[in-house]
Structure 1
Amino acid sequence: MATPASERTPLLKGAGQQATPGGATGEGSNGAANAPANDQSQAVITMPPYKTLIPVLTALWVPVFISSLDGTIVATLVGSISSSFNASEHASWFGTTYLLALVCVNPTMGRMADLFGTRISSLLSIALFSVGTLTCATAPGLSIFLIGRVIQGAGSGGLTTISNIHMSKIIPLRNRGLYQGLTNIVFGLGSGSGGPVGGLANDSVGWRAAFLIQLPILAIAAVLSVWYVHEVPAFPNPNLSLPLGAKIRRIDFLGSLSLVSCATLLLVPLSLVSGSGRYFSEPLIYAQLLGGLLMGIVFLWIEARVAAYPVLPLGLLRDRTGASCAITNFTLSVTTFATLFTYPIYFQVVRLTSATNAGLHLLPYSVALAMSSMAAGYWMRHTGRFKKYNTVMSFMQLLSAALIAMLKPASPDWLTYLVLFPMGWGGAGVLVCSLIAIINKVPKEQMAVATAMTYLFRTTGQALGVSLGGFVLQSTLKPELDRRLGDEHLVEEIRHAITLVKKLPPDVRDQVVEAFSISVRNVFLVLCGVSAVTVLGSLLMEDRVLPDHQKGSAESDEERPGDGERES
């Protein structure tokens, strides 16, 4: 008689499946592999010595740094770059193209790391990101620049995912939150540096220099990966010895293709409506939206019925913790990226400041990101819990979006710095806690897939966030400008190049500033609603005790990671 499922049952257990050492799996319903329940105890590992750990972490953290640096460089310079191509109304495409590639590649990176190893996967990601960065730096026009952003996005899909997968193999779970906090400090240093560095490069040399300076750091990242990123003996991986053809067959190409088709068909209409003056009533627009919904259904069908090794094991989403991680990572990323791409425009147009000044206003977000990551790590290390902290952090995201929505052109300057702090603090706490929660729930053979799943929802949310922010901004801005100016030609010029605002006569400029102020406020009112969903998703999460790595050498199968007392 079959044993009924319980909270101790591994999430990805499928009928008729057998787990083999190192994660080589049989194929069954939904293709999800499973180890026996007591195999999860092997995830309790010994903390490596610092002389071994520090070089490996350095090799993992340099790509994280450069990925976050580039993100805020582009967010800060989006107005300057789009104006140089005379295409300010298409600014949201800078993020959308990048993130669509990220959505396509990111979910496959967990499987790639299992099949080809973390070092090869890391080097491939670095190479793609480098080619994309060079393409952006030398682009003669908007089309080539967007191609560069696609290549960058494909590379970035592995930079942070591979780093997190490898850390989960070498660091005990109870300490994992602390080191995830350190990783987010590195991320915060990159994102905090990107704004000022990008703004300074733009104001002194030109925006292209902001991309060129990334190439030497990427070269260092590649060398460090060759030297220090190796497979972990505690996680033997027989997949590495499989023939190339067998490895390729284990990649869910159909799932990835249907996913990126769904994302593209949903996001492109939003960008067209916001940036090109198209309307939802046009047959092409609503046909694309319907096509996106249809491809979403196809994606779920492929993952449930076709894919032997799905990029999104649906068993994860049927569990409370898996569903909570998916909801919070998705909605939080929508809010964060809509903010990062909208807030600098507020300063360049409403406050009429330089790109450097706009970038400096992102610093509180980065500082809070780093501080909160460490706080979350220490909380989990000393209490072994994560749900309460995670829920409080989700409320801070909502608070930040509400505060920004209430800003006025005459609001004090110190307040414009302060309002972004809760978003960084809350966002980091939710991301760290949700990642540890899902890792704590799955067998060690599925840590790479579970980690990739969280990044799938993050990147999908990021892509939607950029498009949603641009859509709400532009769809509100055009009627506001039409009503206030009554000059269609001038309205289009302003939407093409926001740098023209400073050159307008004072009376006209005041009207334009007010229109932008209203449009930005509407963006953050929408984000308040999105943040409220993040709070609800956090409440869904289970609170399971994290294992104590100090018991790892003597711990028996009777006490498994995640098998502690549980709170609803």
Structure 2
Amino acid sequence: MNSEPRADFSRPEILSILPGLWLAMLLGALDQTIVATAMPTIGRELGDVEQLPWVVTAYLLASVAVTPLYGKLADIHGRRIVMLSAIAIFVIGSVACALSPSVPILAVARAFQGAGGGGLISLAQTIIADIVSPRERGRYQVHIASVFAAASLAGPPLGGLLADHVHWSAIFWINIPLGAIAFVFTSERLRNLPKVARPHKLDVAGALLLVFATTPFLLALSWGGVKYAWTSAIVLALFVAAVVFALGFVWRTRTADEPLIPASVLGNQVVKTATVAAGLAMGVFIGLSIVMPVYLEGVAGLTASMSGLALIPLMIGTVIGATTAGRSMARLTNYKRLPMAGMAMAFVACAIIAWRPCDLPFPVLEGVLLVVTIGLGTVLPTATVSIQNAVARHELGAATGASNFFRQIGSALVAAVFGAIVFSASGVAQEVARSEHAALDPASIEALSQAFRHVYIGACILIVIAMAFFAAMEMRPLRSGAEPPPESGH
């Protein structure tokens, strides 16, 4: 007997569920930003700076690798129990992090924490899809952008404040009360979500193959050009291992009775095109967010703290773009027009910076960056709703988890490419990174400017490719709550 999730939740019911989802998403998003500024303090107090990058890498590896698994588990066992499990794993991992006596143990605890954090965001998106019809869902995607913006803005200063004036472990202890509130709130409010009673089973072999493919790939991206040369034996071996296991995962997907990511999802035209477009657009945004501090400090001459403040328009821009796109989806028949226009705006803005990378006055640069992120911010809400609108309800979890996973992989790849371009600028970027306020000579500034010219040319190319995929995406009418979902993902 099938019990499909209701699509007729009243607005008061929806609003009663959302705060728990916001808090769960905030836990996952905040922990990706709050740790960065506390890292030097953690290294000093635990007496191990050499292995400190593992504190970040371990969380990244675990959180990305488990994202598709959570989607499938939510389709099998229901959203509530899987979300509560993710919150519990995250909180237990946070306690282990706070009590860690050494960096290696902290890294292991961070991996455990990431195994919980990896499900919080995609599960929240799936639950929103359960309670809100596709026609109205775009406006609720704005909440996701706002949560990420809040985490990006509050995380770094909060992490530094707690590490300097309380203790570095406080950045993990604060997850306990927040997680407890999210757990209680979610447990109560999600009781009204009916379980989808369908004959499902978990493809354990496929899940393991995906983890084994993801881990070496992300390690290669994290180490390449930083710890090891891109052409070093270890980085190349990691890429080869990733390819081998990825091929194994593809084989398993084609032969398993019920693969981790259903063939109806992987073969869905909307899922494929929207995921690639969103992955490229978000990759450009994340890549620019990572490398722009080097530009702002090395070329614009800002201090590290000022460069952090200068990135605020990037965060605000994505919220503006997501809000505009999300609210317009229900009103526009051709809901692809706005993100296409947004990406065109971002292309022009990136081209302006590529044309004059070192000559733009700082206020003009900030304005152009705002245009870039407003344009890119229109893509994700439209892509997410389009994907969820194109699959059957019993595949919502798998489709949302898979699209988030592949988008994260694409974003990590773009960010690594942008970083490699910048940090290949004859050691200039490393000089900026080592100094609080690096005084670069004109030749060094020119070298760094040329590196950023190439970054923004690359951004223009990726945006054009994203536009091509988005233009090719089949535009299906957004369903209202009364309309049945498609029976398959094709």
TM-score range, shorter chain: 0.7 to 0.9
Match of 1:55 in 2: 16
Indicate conservation of the 8 Å contact 1:110/1:449, yes or no: yes
- Cα separation, partners in 2 of 1:117 and 1:443, compared to 1, 3 Å: closer
Indicate conservation of the 8 Å contact 1:192/1:367, yes or no: no
Match of 2:316 among 362, 367, 392: 367
Asked if 1:444 is matched to 2:393, the reply is yes
Asked if 1:172 is matched to 2:122, the reply is no
Asked if 1:238 is matched to 2:192, the reply is no
Alignment of 1:28-47 (within 5 A): 45-47=7-9
Asked if 1:341 is matched to 2:303, the reply is no
Indicate conservation of the 8 Å contact 2:75/2:394, yes or no: no
Indicate conservation of the 8 Å contact 1:108/1:452, yes or no: yes
Match of 1:532 in 2: 464
Match of 1:34 in 2: none
Letter in 1 for 2:144: T
Match of 2:383 among 431, 434, 444: 434
Letter in 1 for 2:16: P
* Partner SS, residue 343 of structure 1: helix
Give me the whole-angstrom Cα distance separating, in 2, the residues matched to 1:57 and 1:457: 26
Cα deviation 1:309-368 (Å, max 9, x = unaligned): 323223334343122122113222322322232223444555564554333233222222
* Partner SS, residue 21 of structure 1: coil
Give me the whole-angstrom Cα distance separating, in 2, the residues matched to 1:293 and 1:151: 25
Indicate conservation of the 8 Å contact 2:213/2:242, yes or no: yes
Asked if 1:391 is matched to 2:340, the reply is yes
Indicate conservation of the 8 Å contact 2:222/2:416, yes or no: yes
Give me the whole-angstrom Cα distance separating, in 2, the residues matched to 1:285 and 1:400: 34
Match of 1:27 in 2: none
Displacement of 1:548 = 3.6
Give me the whole-angstrom Cα distance separating, in 1, the residues matched to 2:445 and 2:49: 16
- Cα separation, partners in 2 of 1:137 and 1:336, compared to 1, 3 Å: farther
Asked if 1:222 is matched to 2:180, the reply is no
Give me the whole-angstrom Cα distance separating, in 2, the residues matched to 1:523 and 1:102: 27
- Cα separation, partners in 2 of 1:421 and 1:150, compared to 1, 3 Å: farther
Letter in 2 for 1:428: G
Indicate conservation of the 8 Å contact 2:220/2:239, yes or no: yes
* Partner SS, residue 321 of structure 2: helix
Asked if 1:547 is matched to 2:479, the reply is yes
Displacement of 1:274 = 0.9
Alignment of 1:96-115 (within 5 A): 96-115=57-76
Asked if 1:293 is matched to 2:255, the reply is no
Displacement of 1:118 = 1.9
Q: Tell me which moved more, 53-62 or 357-366.
A: 357-366
Cα deviation 1:447-488 (Å, max 9, x = unaligned): 2222222112122223334433443333x04x345xxxxxxx
Indicate conservation of the 8 Å contact 1:387/1:542, yes or no: no
Match of 2:371 in 1: 422
Indicate conservation of the 8 Å contact 1:262/1:296, yes or no: yes
Alignment of 1:102-501 (within 5 A): 102-134=63-95, 143-198=104-159, 210-233=171-194, 236-238=195-197, 250-280=201-231, 282-306=232-256, 308-348=257-297, 350-351=299-300, 353-399=302-348, 401-403=350-352, 405=354, 408=357, 411-474=360-423, 476-477=424-425, 479-481=426-428, 498-500=433-435
Give me the whole-angstrom Cα distance separating, in 2, the residues matched to 1:191 and 1:373: 16
- Cα separation, partners in 2 of 1:194 and 1:409, compared to 1, 3 Å: farther
Give me the whole-angstrom Cα distance separating, in 2, the residues matched to 1:66 and 1:321: 30
- Cα separation, partners in 2 of 1:347 and 1:155, compared to 1, 3 Å: farther
Displacement of 1:301 = 0.8
Aligned length: 487
* Partner SS, residue 398 of structure 2: helix
Cα deviation 1:272-308 (Å, max 9, x = unaligned): 331124351x4443333222222221111111112x3
Displacement of 1:106 = 0.2
- Cα separation, partners in 2 of 1:395 and 1:513, compared to 1, 3 Å: same
Displacement of 1:181 = 2.1
Displacement of 1:534 = 1.3
- Cα separation, partners in 2 of 1:340 and 1:217, compared to 1, 3 Å: farther
- Cα separation, partners in 2 of 1:420 and 1:283, compared to 1, 3 Å: same
- Over the matched positions of the two proteins, sequence identity in percent amounts to 27
Give me the whole-angstrom Cα distance separating, in 1, the residues matched to 2:97 and 2:299: 28
Displacement of 1:75 = 5.9
Cα deviation 1:94-116 (Å, max 9, x = unaligned): 65543322221100111211233
Indicate conservation of the 8 Å contact 1:186/1:370, yes or no: no
Indicate conservation of the 8 Å contact 1:364/1:421, yes or no: yes
- Cα separation, partners in 2 of 1:136 and 1:97, compared to 1, 3 Å: same
Q: Tell me which moved more, 351-360 or 314-323.
A: 351-360
Give me the whole-angstrom Cα distance separating, in 1, the residues matched to 2:48 and 2:288: 21
Displacement of 1:400 = 5.0
Q: Which runs of 5+ in 1 are unaligned?
A: 1-19, 24-42, 482-490, 564-568
Give me the whole-angstrom Cα distance separating, in 2, the residues matched to 1:191 and 1:451: 23
Give me the whole-angstrom Cα distance separating, in 1, the residues matched to 2:383 and 2:29: 20
* Partner SS, residue 274 of structure 1: coil
Displacement of 1:83 = 9.5
Give me the whole-angstrom Cα distance separating, in 1, the residues matched to 2:28 and 2:403: 17
CA RMSD between the two structures: 3.7
- Cα separation, partners in 2 of 1:314 and 1:524, compared to 1, 3 Å: farther
Q: Which runs of 5+ in 2 are unaligned?
A: none
Give me the whole-angstrom Cα distance separating, in 2, the residues matched to 1:90 and 1:388: 47
Cα deviation 1:26-59 (Å, max 9, x = unaligned): xxxxxxxxxxxxxxxxx88324141x32221111
Cα deviation 1:501-521 (Å, max 9, x = unaligned): 54x7x5x67766665555455
- Cα separation, partners in 2 of 1:516 and 1:155, compared to 1, 3 Å: farther
Displacement of 1:444 = 1.8
Indicate conservation of the 8 Å contact 1:372/1:425, yes or no: yes
Letter in 1 for 2:331: H
Indicate conservation of the 8 Å contact 1:96/1:467, yes or no: no
Indicate conservation of the 8 Å contact 1:44/1:561, yes or no: no
